[in-house]
Amino acid sequence: MEIMNRGIAKRAWILTGILLCVLLAGLAAKAGSFLLVDAPQRSDVVLVLAGETKQRPQLALQLLSRGYGRTILLDVPIDSTIYEFTQIQLAQKYISDLPQPASVSICPIHGLSTKDESKDVENCLAQEGVKRVLIVTSDFHTRRALSVFRRELPQYEYSVAAAHDEAQFGVRWWTHRQWAKTFVDEWLRMIWWKMVDQWRPVSG
């Protein structure tokens, strides 16, 4: 009888382990989709966050042409250079070549994190005199960016649009090496934001 009970207990532990593995696999499969929020709303300004410089601006221009904003505000790191050119110079050249350059302006930023970037953006938004802001950023960054801006600059109404880059991320993150790297990096940043930075006092 004792041997039989041990056998039953062992099978129960094995079954429990299998169920936990299945549950964790299901959660991991959904974790990529959780990062993504894509729900643009008509706003006063389309704010393109710094970082990726192709898909984000292209999406912002599409949204502008579809009436989702009156102007585009392009976040550009002020201290960054590419060869002998600053990113500000490159952004100015990019804007001058657009069909509607008057609708796009640059917001120079110093911050390296999304939280620091929001503080640099605060001055630019104040100058624009807007109330509703449509954030454009990479798809994997959308949920965290929306959370950061709502926390740090609560005086504005926000929505977000996801710019997709096939080379960087997909919700089936486990199928590509680069997608997996992006997934892990963004989840670490999300956890840090939720557990640490979000609870620090909002600076005035």
Cα distances (Å, whole numbers) of residue 199 to 188, 191, 196, 202: 16, 12, 6, 8
Residue 32 contacts residue 173 (beta carbons within 8 Å): yes
Mean pLDDT, range 6-12, rounded to an integer: 55
Residue 52: alpha-carbon gap to chain centroid = 11
Which is nearest to 56 in space by CA: 39, 34, 31, 73? 73
Give the type of residue at 114: T
- Tens of pLDDT, residue by residue over 181-199, are 999 999 999 999 999 988 8
Mean pLDDT, range 131-145, rounded to an integer: 96
Fold of 45-199: Rossmann fold (3.40.50)
**Is the confidence at residue 15, as pLDDT, over 80?**
no
Q: What is the predicted pLDDT for the residue at 23?
A: 41
Mean pLDDT, range 151-180, rounded to an integer: 94
Residue 171 burial (C-beta neighbours within 10 Å; 0-12, 13-18, 19+): middle
With tokens 């649009």, the residue in question is 161
Task: Grade residue 32 by pLDDT with cuts at 50, 70 and 90.
Answer: confident
Q: What is the predicted pLDDT for the residue at 80?
A: 85
**Is the confidence at residue 90, as pLDDT, over 60?**
yes
CA–CA separation, 201 and 75 (whole Å)? 24
Say which DSSP state 164 is in: P
